[in-house]
Structure 1
Amino acid sequence: MSERTENAPSAPSAPSARGRPRDAGRDRALLEATLAVLYEKGYGGLTTAAVAKRAGVSTATLYRRWRSKEDLVIGTAAQWARDLGPGEDTGTLEGDLAALLRDKAETLDGPGGRLLHVLIGESAHNRTLARVLDTAVVQPVRDRAADVVRRAVARGDIAPLDDAHVLADLVVGAMVSRVFLTPGPPAPPAGADGPAGAAAPADTARTGAAMTTELLPFLLRALGARSG
């Protein structure tokens, strides 16, 4: 019974219309625990029992909310997408782009980045999670980037584009490549100067601020921004 519950794909379960209202704090604890277990063990190593234990609840409590680990990951992705929020209109293309890049960099550095890393690897052979990756993770970025482009066109900052979503492809592709595919700094060799067990130096080229600084002028040129 537990094996079927862990592995069988199913649609996200709807909240029950009867009984006590769901505890939003407990829901959030379960979603955060899901991210933590995904980060440590990957999708293949994630179990509902491990998530429930990490969240400090019973598996029965988890199953009242989500029927399987796939449902749980889908719910986590949906919550993360809601947390993204809309972009602000700064009044300039450069300001809007800087805000978009900054927000995406912060997301990749946090729980959303851990979730994205897992979904990218798993979606190659799980069509349900591939749809989640597109709907809950990629599309919100595409929609926000398209808004940036439309505002810039309306202000006369750039000429109209055939596809306003092309900006998102540039942003997502560049940032995912930098964060997930570019090797980080090597660990310090044994006996190197510094305290024993010291962490490797921070890779400043991979920080959100560095990525924003590097990508912003490139994106402005790519979009054909008109100088003032």
Structure 2
Amino acid sequence: MVRRRRLVPMTRTAPPATPQSTPRRGRPRDAARDRAILDATLAVLAESGYRALTTAAVAARAGVSTATLYRRWSSKDELVVAAAATHVEAVHAQPDTGTLEGDLRVLLRDKAAALTGEAGRLMQALVGEAARNTALADALTTAFLEPVHRRVGEAVRRAAERGEIEAVPDAELLGAVVVGPLMSRFLLTPRPDRVDAATARATADRFLPFALRAVGAIGGPGGAPTSP
């Protein structure tokens, strides 16, 4: 009689657990590459105008792929506004000079400097397109108009608190009154990039008496602003 051997099931040794891989974070943005793309945008815009500008042309000028460009800016409008912002004044908090006249003088001179030179020519191109492009108009309003209007509002409120003028309701709305004429002057000037710094500064100072009257203040004897 043949005895059968009982088979013992073999146990398999589980393979050693592999450590969980740590998720890799995305590559940090390269500031130099960002700047190259924005500079290329300005160059193509100056050469071709807004309507003829394409993201492909900008990417080729910057030496990057269009995918790289779109990872940073999702649309042509966003790209152009970001590029223009590098060439236009950075709007900082309004310095407190201690007087309304001093505050408005600084603000008008800042704005005149921003609207002349190469920046002025670029803004002319963008403003012209914004009349037909709602998205671009909204972006320009948010980036360039609202900050300077807030600066005017802050200066006026401080002046009211000091007792220089009576309180003004809706002080920020005065921004359009104070800065609007200066913007019209430079944006309607052929080739504002040919206006030198001294001329821009002098023009800003000529607008100062009218800005003071608009907010209910009169500077210096005879209604003329005092010298800086």
Per the normalisation by structure 2, the TM-score is 0.73
Checking the alignment, whether the CA contact within 8 Å between 1:116 and 1:137 is kept in structure 2 is: no
Secondary structure, aligned partner of 1:211: helix
Secondary structure, aligned partner of 2:90: helix
Which of 201, 211, 215 is the equivalent residue of 1:219? 211
Structure 1 residue ranges without an equivalent (≥5): 1-16, 186-201
1:42 is the counterpart of 2:34: no
Deviations 1:43-66 (A, max 9, x none): 101111222233343333223322
Question: Hey, what's the Cα distance between the residues in 2 that align with 1:221 and 1:160?
Answer: 14
Shift of 1:32: 2.5
Shift of 1:129: 0.9
| 1:43-62 superposed matches below 5 A | 43-62=50-69
| Structure 2 partner of 1:154 | 161
AA partner of residue 80 (structure 2): V
State which structure, 1 or 2, has the greater radius of gyration over its C-alpha atoms: 2
Question: Hey, what's the Cα distance between the residues in 1 that align with 2:155 and 2:219?
Answer: 17
Change (3 A) 1:40 1:87: farther
Which of 88, 94, 109 is the equivalent residue of 2:95? 88
Shift of 1:139: 0.5
AA partner of residue 225 (structure 1): A
Shift of 1:217: 1.5
Per the normalisation by structure 1, the TM-score is 0.73
Checking the alignment, whether the CA contact within 8 Å between 2:55 and 2:76 is kept in structure 1 is: yes
Q: What is the count of residue pairs matched by the alignment?
A: 196
| 1:10-29 superposed matches below 5 A | 18-29=25-36
Structure 2 residue ranges without an equivalent (≥5): 1-23, 221-228
Secondary structure, aligned partner of 2:72: coil
CA RMSD for the aligned pairs? 2.9
> What percent identity do the matched residue pairs reach?
57
